């Protein structure tokens, strides 16, 4: 009887262990829930362009072999935040992991030219970005992308650390230039 009980107990533990898995909530395929809203009294833009590249956040539309997504938020006092993502031209989905972000495929700029302060050097320290081309298109017949990005950044030379999250639809830019 004791052997049967031990075998049953072992079977229960084994089944319980094998059926459990860690769910960290991560899914490589972004869904359309929880889109980022634009703050009141702000301007937000979400665009992409094909066959471009960037060397820095102020030259994000140079000719190249990549698709670059960018989001721009302009708030009060002309304070702005820009995020640029460089992705391959091929495929209808992409995923940028933490190591790729640290290698420079994402650029981040947060500045306030009218705040009477010196420019701050932000450094992206990690995060992820994932996107997929949606079957629906905008009114002009151009592709529409859903992109979700979470970035961790710091200010070089300080203990400051923060994060930024953007999840929104991106449309082909109507013209070159940021």
77-109 pLDDT, tens digit per residue, is 677 888 889 999 888 999 999 999 988 888 888
**CB-CB neighbours of 122 under 10 Å:** 21
Domain residue ranges of the chain, discontinuous segments joined by +: 37-172
108-157 pLDDT, tens digit per residue, is 887 766 666 666 778 888 999 999 998 765 566 678 899 999 999 888 88
Element (H, E) at 151: strand 143-155
The residue written with tokens 């009114």 in the block is 139
In this predicted structure, the answer to whether residue 20 has a pLDDT above a threshold of 70 is no
In this predicted structure, the answer to whether residue 29 has a pLDDT above a threshold of 60 is yes
Contact 125, 93 (CB under 8 A): no
DSSP for 15-75 reads: HHHHH--------SS--SSSPPPPPTT-EEEEEEEEEEE-SSTT-TTEE-SEEEEEEEEE-
Partners of 81 in the beta sheet? Answer: 73, 110
Beta strands (DSSP E) in 75-121 are 80-88, 93-96, 106-111
Question: What does each C-alpha distance from 14 to 3, 7, 18 come to in angstroms?
Answer: 16, 10, 6
Q: In 3D, which of 144, 141, 68 has the Cα closest to residue 106?
A: 68
Amino acid 129: pLDDT: 94
The residue written with tokens 């932000």 in the block is 122
- Name the 3-class secondary structure at 114: coil
Q: What is the DSSP letter of 158?
A: S
């Amino acid at each position: 009887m004791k052997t049967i009980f031990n075998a049953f107990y072992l079977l229960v533990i084994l089944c319980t262990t094998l059926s459990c898995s860690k769910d960290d909530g991560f899914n490589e395929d972004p869904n359309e829930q929880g889109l980022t809203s634009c703050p009141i009294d702000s301007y937000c833009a979400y665009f992409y362009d094909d066959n471009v590249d960037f060397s820095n956040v102020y030259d994000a539309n140079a000719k190249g072999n990549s698709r670059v997504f960018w989001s721009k938020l302009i708030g009060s006092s002309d304070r702005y935040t820009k995020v640029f993502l460089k992705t391959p031209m091929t495929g209808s989905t992409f995923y940028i992991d933490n190591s790729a972000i640290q290698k420079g495929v994402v650029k981040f700029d947060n500045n306030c030219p009218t705040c009477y302060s010196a420019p701050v050097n932000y450094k992206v320290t990690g995060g992820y970005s994932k996107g997929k081309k949606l079957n629906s298109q905008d009114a002009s017949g151009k592709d529409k992308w859903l992109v979700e990005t979470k970035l961790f950044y710091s200010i070089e030379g300080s203990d400051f650390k923060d994060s930024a999250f953007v999840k929104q639809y991106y449309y082909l830019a109507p013209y070159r230039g940021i």
